[in-house]
């Protein structure tokens, strides 16, 4: 019985001495916060998932070439507070997206504002 009690006490002390979890989420260093792009395109995918939601559209870049862009959003809980829903976008829908692009020039960005064809802004 003493061995069990000692084990329980050691377990409790161990839990109490563990460091509190720290925020270890990735940063925004890959995004160029000095730039903002506005792209008009066609939705190819809307991924509603943790830890981030993603919107993919086909849009022309500055050279006129159609590229598939991938935009990062927050998690579903956070973006729901901003009006987004699991069914906010349908494949084939025309939208306009304002984003902070990545520094590398890849067709990737962090979404700021999405404007639907009817003028609704999310």
pLDDT tens per residue across all 122 residues of the chain: 666 555 444 445 444 444 444 444 456 778 888 899 999 999 999 999 999 999 999 998 778 899 999 999 999 999 999 999 999 999 999 999 999 999 998 999 999 999 999 999 99
Neighbours of 46 (CB within 10 A): 20
In a domain, 18, yes or no: no
In a domain, 9, yes or no: no
In a domain, 7, yes or no: no
In a domain, 19, yes or no: no
What confidence score (pLDDT) does residue 61 get? Answer: 75
What are the structure tokens assigned to 104, written together? 């590398």
pTM, two decimal places = 0.74
CATH of the domain at 57: 2.40.50.140
DSSP label at residue 79: H
In a domain, 74, yes or no: yes
Residue that has been written with the tokens 């008009």 in this structure: 40
- Which structural domain, as residue segments, surrounds residue 101? 30-116
In a domain, 22, yes or no: no
CB of 58 closer than 8 Å to CB of 66: yes
In a domain, 3, yes or no: no
What confidence score (pLDDT) does residue 95 get? Answer: 98
In a domain, 54, yes or no: yes
Structural domain count, the chain:
1
What confidence score (pLDDT) does residue 18 get? Answer: 46
For residue 64, the SS3 value is coil
């Amino acid at each position: 019985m003493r061995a069990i009690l000692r084990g329980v006490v050691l377990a409790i002390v161990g839990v109490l001495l563990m460091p509190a979890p720290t925020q270890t989420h990735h940063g925004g260093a890959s995004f160029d916060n000095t730039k903002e792009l506005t792209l008009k395109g066609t939705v190819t995918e809307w991924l509603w998932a943790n830890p981030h939601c993603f919107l993919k559209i086909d849009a022309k870049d500055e050279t006129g070439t159609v590229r598939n862009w991938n935009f990062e959003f927050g998690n579903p809980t956070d973006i729901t507070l901003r009006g987004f829903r699991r069914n906010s976008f349908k494949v084939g829908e025309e939208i306009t997206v304002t984003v902070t692009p990545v520094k590398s020039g890849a067709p990737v960005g962090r979404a700021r504002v999405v404007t639907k064809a009817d003028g609704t802004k999310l």
